[in-house]
Chains A and B, each alone.
Chain A
């Protein structure tokens, strides 16, 4: 019940295309869903986050879609660029100090 399942494991997208990464969770107590971006040799960095009281949040080319009834959320990267090539982690938290991370998606954007 504490898992966050992330898919796909890897993704190749053409420059200008849309990258979509999906996550699913079981624990309905989760109330904060961040996405982290990690470049090689760096730690993960907070990219965008959503709370379950909204169904969508957009920041520039990055959008989180949230489906509370299905217990799923996804990251959409519009107009994907080679500089977006990185590993993306979804996560979920219910307060306190525990955040549960997905296994990560390695995105490669072809020029």
Chain B
């Protein structure tokens, strides 16, 4: 399988639940990203990992916890979320040293917090 794969595609969770989003890339890229996409708003960068080290944490609440065990896998652990956290969560990867190649995005996880 090629590209960036995200699971699950849809997730409904209660505010007291704990769940995890998974992202896997098969492109040999060395940087991975979590973005939040809400309606009519720009994509919001949440976290960046380069060579498995977190290099960006964009003032994201602690109820979101990323994990990057290796350069091909990225997780976003969720706990005690709020209804306003409902959104499409996108994972992306890039070859960090090559600025002009852009990002490859996954299809996202549609999260609904009830």
With known contacts A32-B100, A97-B31, A97-B50, A43–B43 Cβ distance under 8 A: no
CB distance from A2 to the nearest CB of B (A): 10
Residue of B nearest to A6 (CB): B42
Residue of B nearest to A89 (CB): B43
Q: Does A99 contact B (CB under 8 A)?
A: yes
CB distance from B85 to the nearest CB of A (A): 19
Complex-state Cα separation, A89 to B100, whole angstroms: 16
Contact with A97, one of B33, B100, B105, B107 (Cβ below 8 angstroms):
B33
Q: Does B28 contact A (CB under 8 A)?
A: no
Interface residues on A, range: 20 to 34
Complex-state Cα separation, A102 to B48, whole angstroms: 19
Q: Which residues of A contact B55 (CB under 8 A)?
A: 97
CB distance from A31 to the nearest CB of B (A): 8
Q: Which residues of A contact B50 (CB under 8 A)?
A: 97
Q: Which residues of B contact A95 (CB under 8 A)?
A: 99
Complex-state Cα separation, A95 to B33, whole angstroms: 15
Complex-state Cα separation, A49 to B92, whole angstroms: 17
Q: Which residues of A contact B92 (CB under 8 A)?
A: 43
- Cβ contact within 8 Å between A43 and B107: yes
Q: Which residues of A contact B106 (CB under 8 A)?
A: 43
- Cβ contact within 8 Å between B45 and A103: no
Q: Measuring CB to CB, which residues of chain B are less than 8 angstroms from any residue of chain A?
A: 4, 6, 31, 33, 40-43, 45, 48, 50, 55-56, 90, 92, 94, 96, 99-100, 102-108
Apart from the given pairs A32-B100, A97-B50, 9 other A-B contacts in the complex at a CB distance below 8 Å: A43-B4, A44-B90, A93-B99, A97-B56, A100-B42, A101-B42, A101-B43, A102-B42, A103-B42
Q: Measuring CB to CB, which residues of chain A are less than 8 angstroms from any residue of chain B?
A: 4, 9, 31-32, 34, 36, 41-46, 49, 51, 89, 93, 95, 97-104
